[in-house]
Structures are given as C-alpha cells and as structure tokens.
Structure 1
Amino acid sequence: MLRNRLTRISAALCTLAACITFTACTATSEAQRQATASKPPATDCTAWVGADRNAMLPGYLLPRAQGTTGNAKGPTVCVPLLLTANQPPESYAGGDYHISEFTADKLKARWRDCKAEAACFQRVNAQIQRWLPPNKARATRSTGTVDPSGRIDPEGQVDLRKIRRPAFFAKAPYREGIAEAEGRTYTVEFTVPPDAFERIDLKKTAPIKLRGWYLEGTGVDDGKGGKVRALALMAPGGGGQLTAIQHPDEVTLRTDAKTGKTESLKFPNATTETMGQRWWRENLHALNQAGFDVLAYDRRGEGLSGGFSDTNTLEQGEDVFRVLGQLENGRGLRMLTPSGDVLEGNAAAGRLLAGMKANEIPLVLGGYSRGSMSTAWAMTSNYVASCTFDLPEVTCAAPRGLRNIRGAILLSSFASGAGYVGDAPDLADRNLFLGGMAADHHILFYPTSETLAGMHRWPAAFFGKGLWDRAESLEGTVAAYNRIRGVKEIVLARGPHSIETWPESDRRYLRERMVAYAKTVVVGGRTVPGLPRERMWKDFKGLVATTPDSWEPSSRPRTMEKATEQ
C-alpha cells in the first residue's frame, strides 16, 4: 500500500515537473504542436475599444454577416482583440515558453531580481500594496447597503435567517427568476482555516465561515427517460456577492460624448449594491432549472463570508474539497432548511448531495473571473497534484483523484497561467507583481503555469470570454482548450472581461451553451449538441469570426470606415 502511494505521489510530481521542463512527459510533443497551431495569424486592422481599454487594438477584417469567413464579398468590419504580452525570444529553445517560463518558482525568482533594483522594487511594490488585504474588493462589502435586510456581521455568530434568500428577489423592481427556487434552497455555512497570508503575516488562527446557497435540483435528463442527480459548484468573480442587490435598470459604464472614452461606474450607489449579481444569479437559476443541484457561496473576505484575505485563489481552490467534505460529514457545517429549521454537525451531515457521498455525485466545477482561477486550482489539485505554491517551502501531494468531477466551466477565464497576460499598459508588471505577492506575502493570486501544464488530464472544459479580456488573452484560452482531450467548447463575444457589459443576446447564448455543456458531461455525452454551423471553427482567425455582429456598446463601430487597415 505504501509503495502504491509513493508511486502515485511520484507520478503527480512528474506531471508538474516533467511537463514544465519537457524532459519526461509524454504530452511534450503534443503540447509543442498545439502551441504552434494556436499561434494567431498577423492582424490586418485596428479598431477602437471602449470598455475597458479606451484604446486602439489590433484585429481582423471580417465579413459583416455573422459567422461568414474566407473571402466573402461585401462589407467588412475590424474585430479587435487583446493579444498576449509575453512572447518568447527568437532564439528560445526551452519547449513551451508559456509553461516553462511562468512557473511559481520562476515568477518568485524574477521578483527577487526586481527587489535588487530600487526603481523596479518601488514601482511594483506599490502595486502589491494596493492588492494586499484589505484590498479594493474587501473594502466594498456592499450587501445590505441599499436595503438593510440581509446585512450581517460576517465575522460573528450569524443568524442564518437574516441572510437574504431567493424569495427576496421576487419583489419589485427586481423580479428575478431565482425567486422561483425559494422552496428548494438551503442557506449554508461552512468552516475553513485562514489562508497563508492570514496565518503567517497576520498571525490569525480563528476559522473562517463561508456562506451561501445550496439549491436542490430534480436531476438532469439523461436522454433515455431517466434523471441524473448532479451538482454544479459555482465560484463568483472578484467582488461578487451572492445576495447583493442589482437594480434591473442599472448600467455599468458611462461614455463621454466628447472624448468617446468610457469609465466604469462605482458601486454601491443609491439603488445597486454590486453590479453583475443579477446576471450571476440568472446563471445559477438556469443550471438549477436544468436539474442540477447548485452550490454557490461568497469567497473568503467578501460579502456574506468571513475572512480578511480574498485574493489567494490557490486556497480558494482547496475550499472546494473542504465544503464537499462537510456536506458529507457535517463537521463545520450549518444550514437553514427551506422549512426554516437550523441544522448543524451530525444533523446536517448527508442532508444534501442527493443522498450521495462527495466522491459519488457527478460534479461540475465552475467559476467566473477570479472564480475561474480557483476552479483551475481545484481541477489541478484533483487531477494533477496539490502543491503549496503560496508557502516558502513548496510541497506536493498526490492528486485527490475524485473521478466524479466531470468538467470545468471557466467564464472570463484565467486558467492558462501568468504567461498569457494580455498586452496592455496596466498589465505590464503583472508577472513581477504575482511573484512578489507569492514570495513575500504568501498569496497565490493569478494562477501560475502549473495549471496549464496539467490540463491534458482534465476530462472536459467550457470557456466563455470577451475578445479583449484583460485577464487572459484569447491565445491563452486557445492554448488551454487545445490541451483538453474530452468535451470542450469556447464561446466568444465582442466585449471585455466583465460579462455583465455584454449585450443581452450574447449573455443569453453563453448561458444556454454553458448549461448544454454541463448537462452533456454529467450524462456522459461526447459532444455538446446544438452548436450552430456559424459557431464552428478550425483556426484562430476562424474562432474570432464565430462572434456575432453584436458589440459591447462603447466599442461598437460607428461606421464601417472606422476600421483602419494595417
């Protein structure tokens, strides 16, 4: 038994080390082929992008009609995108550059070099200090600022009855579909340890409470007259707060009529606590209506949940397995049932998960923006290895090996690692910043390239993102997609990182495809049904051409002549 365990640990370490160094991993040649195939062709035009760039970006001249490609005659439009900043030197011969050069170890080493130069240290350390807890997201716990109902002290002993439930959103002016799930919703509270920054830097020892909702489902139609009970565990984006109010008439952006520049509006205001939460709840409701049990909770340090630090996505990925275990064994779990009973410990154990164990119920792990980072770490921990990249001494354990995790949903993803940061001025120091956060403050924020290195072990993945997503370039998303060997799909829109700014038609299509994917992977399908012909693609430019001719409003071309050929 001991020999078998040592073999599994050795295999896990091989995956992380050998795939990165390209010395002993069987996926090496395939990864190199994919890296070459994923390289985008030269752009041929530039176009103005408002949110959230306010800049001219390179792009491709494409036919105006949705989904047409090639040399079709007729009007064209320049479709812009944000490309990758990090490019290998011409003489580079170290394998896949975006994996080999952006490991946790190499990012920390670059930070040590930066610290030795006064100007570099001063510039980058200012960015680090801005993001150290309590950072901008932590400073805006907004739930309860518009309507005092639902406001709690997240660090105290919380009365779960005071947390807003789906029925709250039935009233005017909200009228949200999630209200329909009131009768099958449990308010849940989990107990997790402080993260490395809290333990080492702040000397905190008290446990943290994570709070949210568990929506019971009726089972996913298996296409054979039966139902499959399955759980979608969904992680929000940075600043996301599950029960925060969003007024249906609220807008996210304001564009100056004279300059054409767009700025993001600040929240909370008089009618909205946090922007984007209405869209997030629509996603949860759609999955639940499709038959899924759905678990969603606020991340540590935000909204309903306790904790001081909210940026260590590696730790948040480990939380996935902690909450699953507590749903099964009840240790550290409290819940408010739909009938109003409060259960905890043994009384709550096994009440949910459709009566199955945590390693039995089919699972889909999903996340938006920062939630995609924690999801990527959870998938890595399960299929590759669990490593303490946020600690001074890195140790790795064998993969958790839950075979019931059927796939990942990555919205506005950053799962391909630090090597695929977008080419933008405000991201110029991002890799030094990430190395400094990890080395000096024990916070693993953006994933390192270890997540991408192990994606060939993931069973399935779904990606949804904007063409000028500031977090991960489209090249990074394609690199991740190419490594997935099972069911996979990419849905793109002509918009930025923040999906709530996209046109409603694009948000609706993304949600429909996401639900179709989730249903497919839990019932064992091999392809997601219903993909329109115009959304199929064979190469990078063809993928960009799958976007419909709908735009985030501040970036919509005023005339077709606005595009400038290069």
Structure 2
Amino acid sequence: MHRPPAEQLRRSAALALLVVAGCALPGSDGASSRAEPPRTDCQAHVGTDRNAMLPGYLLPSGNGKTVCVPLLPSANRPPPNYEGRDYYVDEFTDARLKARWHSCKADAACFRRIDAQMQRWLPPNKERATRSTGVVDPSGRIDPEGDVDLRQIRRPAFFAKAPYRESIAQAEPRTYTVEFSAPRDTFERIALEMQDPIKLRGWYIEGAGVDDGRGGRLRALAIMANGGGGQMTAIQHPDERAYRIDAATGRTIAITFPNATTETMGQRWWRENLQALNAAGFDVLAYDRRGEGISGGFSDTHTLEQGEDVFRVLEQLESGLGLRMLTPSGQLIEGSAAGGRLLAGMKARQIPILLGGYSRGSMSAAWAMTKNFVESCSYDMPAVTCTPPKGYTNIKGAILLASFASGAGYVPAAPDLKDRNLFLGGMAAEHHIAFYPNSATLAGMVHWPAAFFGKGLWDRAESLEGTIAAYDRIRGLKEIVVARGPHSIETWDPEDQRYLQQRMIAFAQAAVTGASTVPGARPWTDLKSLVATTPDRWEPSSRPEWPPSARTP
C-alpha cells in the first residue's frame, strides 16, 4: 500500500509527540477511581479518516512480532491541582460552553472562524448532500414535506434484488411502514418562523420475541437511530467504497455521495444491524431523523430535539394520534385504528425497550436516556429550564455505536476538532440548535440501567478515554467493543463488523432479560488492555508497516 512521503510522516509524528509527550493518558475523572493507564510508547500512521501519525501501544502481533496499535487521545486535561468535583462534567456544562462562546464572539477573529463553521452546518445542511433517497433509482423518491402515499416508500423487499441482495429483505412480511407527527424544532420555529408539523417516516419490524432463557419468548423493542446523513431506505451498491487513496500522497480521500450507483454510504451495514436485531427476536423501530431521507423537516442537526422524538413516537404507537401506517398486507390505517396495533399489544411504558444510535444517532439516544432517567432541559433556549425525568422504567439500556455520548470534555486531540466546543456553544446560543452533547449526558449515566459501546480506536467522535469514562459511570450491565478502525464503522474489517454485531445482540438480549453479565465479553482493566482486546485486524488503509516506530516513554 502506498504511504505518505517521509516528510509528511515526520510532521505527523511530531504532532503526535506533542499530544502525548511527557504525560500518561488519564482515565475517567470524578466518577471513577480507575488508575491512570500506562503511557503510550509508540506512534503509527492511520489512514481514513485521520491521515495522521497517532500515539499508541506496542502490542504482540499474530506473526510473533510487536505492532504499534494507535488511538486518538483526549484534547482536554484537568489542570494541575484541579480542585473541582468532576472536571469532565463541571467544566463542560451548557453554561460553561456558552460562556466560552460569548468570549469568542467578542473577539472578531474567533467569531469569524466559528461563525463560518456554523453557517456551513445551518439548515439546509450544506456539509452533506441530503435527500439522496431516490437519486439512483427513482422508486422510493417522495416529497417528504407533502402528503405521502406510504406505498411509495421503499420496503425491505426492494433490497432483495440484484445487485443488493441484502438480508433486510427477510423482514418484509413483518414490516410496517410508519409515519409519525412531530412539531418543528426550535431553530425552525424561532429563526425560520415555521409552525406547521413535520412527519417522521420509517419501518416498524415485528419480532418473534427474545429467548428469555427459560424456554419462553419475551417481546422487546429496539429503537435505532442512524448516523448523520444516514437515510435508511437509500441505496448502497455492495461494491461501493467510502474513500479512495491518492496515488501521489497516499492519503485517503472521502468519496462524495450520491454517485451513479450509491445514494448514501453506510446504509447497507445499518440495515444489516436492524435485521440482526429482528432475527434475534426484537421488534425494531427505525426512522429517518427529522430533516433527512424520507422524513420531513428542514433542520437535521438538533439532536436534543431528536431525543424528544423518541417519546413522541412511543406515545403515538400507543394512542394512534398523529400516526399512519402501511401494514405488511398493504392496508393503510391511521389514528385510533393504528394505535395499539404494534408494541406487541403492550403499552408504551410496558414493553421492554432499548435505545440505540450510531454516530449522530448516539447523540439523540443519549439525550433520550438523559431525558428519561435524569431530567429534560431546554439547552437550546437562552433561559434553560428543566423538567423531571420521563420515568419509563421499561427502558432497559442504550446501544451507542461510534458514540459522542461522553460529552464535550472528551473531544479528541486533532487539529480539525479543536473548535468543536466553541461551535457547540455557538449553535445553542445563537441558533437554538443543541448539536453535540454537553456534559449532561455523561453526568447522568450513573442513572442509566445498562449501556453497550462500540467504537474504533481512532474514532473522532470522542476519545477512547471518554468511552471508558462513560462505561465507568454505568452501574448495571455494560460492555465496550473496540476495533482498529475509525469513526465510520462501515469501513472496518468485515470480521470486526460481524463481531461488533454479535456482541451488540448478546448485550441486547441480556439487557431485556435481566441478566447480570454479558456472556463472552472480552476482559480488560485499563486503556492499554482495552486496546489489546482488538484482534490483529485493521481498517485497510491503516494496516501497519514494519518495523513499528517506537519511542522511549
């Protein structure tokens, strides 16, 4: 594989040394007594999506040698002699982040830099090509703001044909196409003066029940939120790749979608996860977030509002108010006739529920967990008010893939991420959009019943230290699965994708059946031993060269 020129590698190595030289990577602060992990002792180059030298650990390899396994460390460290209670919570609250934004706003250069970033992300989201469903194949293209014939929305059977041949097609006989009603988010209501309701559309796939370990079947529901730009009925060609490698520089370059054969990347992998949960017996609800794919709305980045949508759809599944559905037999029903049709005949506060999310979906899932177990706060408003937790005791845990849920304190150390928290504060203060989570999600995890985390070692969403900090706060069932790869799980080695899915299913079954442990989880004790749980498999553009580059601790 072509590697970047030596001078470029030397510059990246120098940056990696600046990140970690002379210090150990700290563990969770405040909520855990976990000892500080061993110092990193090497650097290695990774491809997508970092294209950089990163610090890592020298670990045994399958060929009898050692290999440097890299990770993306945290940018923020508690200052010496920090006297606060919990640095990663107290210093990254909504109030602290907005205060830092206001200081930036008073500085002309800082304001120009951050405002330019905010303008690129303000709806309609100029950073991504949205509404790509139906671009490659016009079947399934709808007007998401109009009165939609639900029969025009692609169903699982669409993906049975060549060249797709996706496993999700097996769910066709059990799938309801569903449409929910929701209010506009605060940006749309205040900045754009939009007051009409929007529609959220997706699939509800009925399950056969989860094996309860006692010879019976337990009906349970997994509500799964896709990643940013994800559109659950969009086409992905099976031969598609997320990036190409520049022959001159060796750098990975992301491919832009839609193209001639793929509408949105990553959707094939996402649908495989929905099918795996359903095959394990779960009812599965998945819908495009507001502002994307087949759902209505102008704004797609307000994850706090998207977390509230979880409770809106649960209420509508029970009552039918604002709900329409297309049954597997092709019958269109709505309102009271649709209420109670799903949820295995149970009430919304009875059926065991797991809330899952990938990337941006992990943000909305984490907000929903916070709203349910801690409190609901209006971080998107100038005067923040909070209401008591929603109190769904039947929500049994969260599945967080490529998670952002550890909050603003655990932004990774990388040049392209250094402004994230100013952006976070500015979007909330100026535009009423709560995009990335503040520290409230992390602080509230002590109240969550269970959580599963899956991530790449150089995931740009949050540092691995942040994932450990989140894990440490969970008092019930929990597991972390890591792989030698980046944020985008669809780029991982296929065996790592399969393993992650298997562990996710094992966790989900254990969580809803009340198990005290997740059978088969890989043991670890600190950051280095967690990194060492990864098999000798790599995201392809990041496979190592020999010998590894070592340094003195």
Normalised TM-score (structure 2)? 0.93
From the superposition, tell whether residues 188 and 137 of structure 1 become closer, same or farther in structure 2 (CA, over 3 Å).
farther
Distance 1:137 1:339 in 2: 39
Distance 1:210 1:558 in 2: 47
Superposition pairs of residues 351-366 of structure 1, within 5 angstroms: 351-366=341-356
State the AA in 1 paired with 2:242. T
Alignment partner of 2:171 out of 156, 181, 194: 181
CA contact (8 A) 1:137 1:302 kept: no
Distance 1:562 1:546 in 2: 19
User: What count of residue pairs does the alignment treat as equivalent?
Assistant: 526
1:35 Cα deviation from its structure 2 partner: 4.7
- Is 2:454 the partner of 1:474? no
The residue number in structure 2 matching 1:298 is 288
The residue number in structure 2 matching 1:565 is 551
State the AA in 1 paired with 2:271. R
The residue number in structure 2 matching 1:406 is 396
Superposition pairs of residues 378-527 of structure 1, within 5 angstroms: 378-527=368-517
1:33 Cα deviation from its structure 2 partner: 5.7
The residue number in structure 2 matching 1:7 is none
- Supply the RMSD in Å over aligned alpha carbons: 1.3
Q: Could you say what secondary structure the match of 1:205 adopts? A: coil
State the AA in 2 paired with 1:351. R
Alignment partner of 2:98 out of 86, 94, 108: 108
CA contact (8 A) 1:108 1:439 kept: yes
CA contact (8 A) 1:31 1:96 kept: no
1:529 Cα deviation from its structure 2 partner: 1.3
The residue number in structure 2 matching 1:37 is 34
1:42 Cα deviation from its structure 2 partner: 1.6
CA contact (8 A) 1:455 1:483 kept: yes
Q: What do residues 83-138 of structure 1 show as CA deviations (whole Å, max 9, x unaligned)?
A: 11111211321121111100011100100011111111111111111111111366
1:558 Cα deviation from its structure 2 partner: 2.7
The residue number in structure 2 matching 1:9 is none
Superposition pairs of residues 160-171 of structure 1, within 5 angstroms: 160-171=150-161
Superposition pairs of residues 139-154 of structure 1, within 5 angstroms: 139-154=129-144
1:41 Cα deviation from its structure 2 partner: 2.6
The residue number in structure 1 matching 2:15 is none
Q: What do residues 312-341 of structure 1 show as CA deviations (whole Å, max 9, x unaligned)?
A: 100000000000000000010000000101
- Is 2:42 the partner of 1:55? no
- Is 2:316 the partner of 1:326? yes
Distance 1:335 1:61 in 2: 54
Distance 1:140 1:404 in 2: 34
CA contact (8 A) 1:38 1:475 kept: no
Normalised TM-score (structure 1)? 0.91
State the AA in 2 paired with 1:541. K
Q: What do residues 417-444 of structure 1 show as CA deviations (whole Å, max 9, x unaligned)?
A: 0110010000111111100000000000
Distance 2:112 2:181 in 1: 38
State the AA in 2 paired with 1:43. T
From the superposition, tell whether residues 169 and 427 of structure 1 become closer, same or farther in structure 2 (CA, over 3 Å).
same
**Unmatched 5+ stretches in structure 2:** 1-26
Distance 2:77 2:279 in 1: 44
The residue number in structure 2 matching 1:229 is 219
Distance 1:174 1:516 in 2: 27
State the AA in 1 paired with 2:549. A
- Is 2:522 the partner of 1:540? no
CA contact (8 A) 2:29 2:469 kept: no
The residue number in structure 2 matching 1:556 is 543
The residue number in structure 1 matching 2:255 is 265
Q: Could you say what secondary structure the match of 2:369 adopts? A: helix
Superposition pairs of residues 82-161 of structure 1, within 5 angstroms: 82-136=72-126, 139-161=129-151
Distance 2:243 2:319 in 1: 45
Q: Could you say what secondary structure the match of 1:37 adopts? A: coil
CA contact (8 A) 2:307 2:364 kept: yes
Distance 1:349 1:240 in 2: 28
In the TM superposition, structure 1's runs of 4+ consecutive aligned residues that sit over 3 Å from their partners are 30-36, 136-139
The residue number in structure 1 matching 2:6 is none
